[in-house]
Amino acid sequence: MNTEWLPILIPLGLLCLSAFFSGAETALFNMEPSRLQEAGVRVKRLLDRPRDLLVTILLGNLFVNVLFFALVPHLFEADELLTGAGALLAILVLGEILPKTLALRSGPRVARLAAPPLGLMVSLVAPIGGGIHRLLDGFLRAFGQDEVAEQRIDVHHLDQALQRSAKKGHIAPGEADLLAEIVELGHLRVREIMTPRVDALMLDLEDTEAERLAVLMEAARLLQSWLPVVRGDVDQVVGVVRVRELLVDPSRTIESRVMPICFVPEVAGVLPMLATMRERRVAQAIVVDEWGGTAGVVTLELLFEELFGELRVEGEEVERPVIPIGEGRFRVSGDLSIRDWNDLLGVEVVPNAFETVGGLVLAALDRLPRVGDRAELGGGLVGEVSEVRRRRVWTVDLYLAGVPKA
């Protein structure tokens, strides 16, 4: 057998294997969801086992590179320093940079070509990979990471990925925004979207007929289809009634029209709440706190408004959450959610026992609010209470510290 070509063929073969692993890693782990269909079924199956896939690629690349650096000095009769430098340069350029660049440009195609051999390798390496997983899990637990399952994707990073897909034309910009809102719903609690009990319209069976009629007329004005029914106290919820039926046919008693209502905990996730409401075939639910009391009301309409913005009928006045009132000064509604506050102002306030700007001001004041009270809200922002209703911060004037009052 002619061995003259071995010093060239062996390093070249190892370089090709190194390039294969490097390119496959980049192509597979940078695959955009919108291009998975193009990549094929085998690629999808590989990405369903990301930890096994990563261990296989890393072990394969490590083995090939170690073998490359171990053999090259013995295959070439040259200065060891020059041989080592040449080997390092070859691995960096031909085994790392070039294949990764090609994989970024032609991700689905590279992933499709790499999937068959990698699928076989993943199966072969699986016994070793299992031991490595257990070892890693032990290290993670030692550093306080109790949960070593697949980590949940950060909403901010996913939103960036969606926006990149929109810029590349894979999805429409409007679709990217809607998908980001849907993903964010998975991280929301019911209490973040509910109507608090102090703002919720409820029909009290112990009210006078005139008082009940006034509540019904207000519900009709607000286009509410349903009303929760209580007996003497908002914590004593007995059910729900259809507003239209009571207005069209007042001959029957309210009690005879009461239907069962769904209850959900305020700490429940929005998506589990939606599943519960779908299972019960209802469009509204009473939100209860940890003591079983009524915290508020949640409806499918509120959920839709989280996705599409506030729903309004034609001609209805649009209420702006932030209104300019002078140079460098703005008036903010006290019930503006902290999430919307963060989005509008580009700040990052972490809710702590409060969900609204009014709650943020109360937390800063540490007492009941009075008109004219000022509170430092972080980032140089000052909030001045401009209106109080029923011991509640109704509106706040916002300005930067040092801005003179208009």
**According to the model, what pLDDT value does residue 204 have?**
92
What domains does the chain contain, in order, with CATH numbers?
6-142 (no CATH), 155-187 (no CATH), 191-308 (3.10.580.10), 322-400 (3.30.465.10)
- Each residue's pLDDT, cut to its tens digit, for the chain (406 residues) gives 556 666 678 888 888 999 999 999 888 888 766 566 667 778 878 887 787 888 888 888 888 888 888 887 776 666 667 777 778 888 888 888 888 888 888 888 888 888 889 888 888 877 776 666 667 666 656 665 544 444 444 555 555 665 666 676 666 666 656 666 666 666 678 888 888 888 889 999 998 888 888 988 888 887 888 899 999 888 999 999 988 888 888 777 888 889 988 898 888 888 888 888 888 888 889 999 888 889 999 988 777 776 666 655 555 555 666 788 877 788 888 888 777 777 666 666 555 556 788 888 888 888 888 998 988 877 677 888 988 888 888 888 888 766 555 5
**According to the model, what pLDDT value does residue 150 have?**
44
Contacts by 373-380 with C-beta closer than 8 Å and gap 24+?
Answer: 376/401, 377/349, 378/347, 378/349, 379/347
- With vertex at residue 202, the alpha carbon angle to CA 267 and CA 313, rounded to the nearest 5 degrees, is 90
Judged on CB neighbours under 10 Å (0-12, 13-18, 19+), 311 is exposed
**According to the model, what pLDDT value does residue 297 have?**
92
Token duo for residue 404: 């003179």
**According to the model, what pLDDT value does residue 147 have?**
45
Cα separation, 132 vs 117, in Å, equals 21
**Model confidence, pTM:** 0.47
**Is-contact 148 140, C-beta < 8 A?**
yes
Cα separation, 269 vs 281, in Å, equals 18
Phi and psi dihedrals of 133, rounded to 5? -60, -45
**According to the model, what pLDDT value does residue 152 have?**
44
What CA–CA distances, in Å, run from 333 to 325, 340, 349, 387?
A: 13, 11, 16, 10
**According to the model, what pLDDT value does residue 149 have?**
42
**Is-contact 263 228, C-beta < 8 A?**
no
Stated as kind and residue range, the H or E segment containing 239 is strand 237-242
**Is-contact 59 126, C-beta < 8 A?**
no
Cα separation, 103 vs 43, in Å, equals 14
**According to the model, what pLDDT value does residue 346 have?**
61
Beta strand 374-378 pairing with 381-389: antiparallel
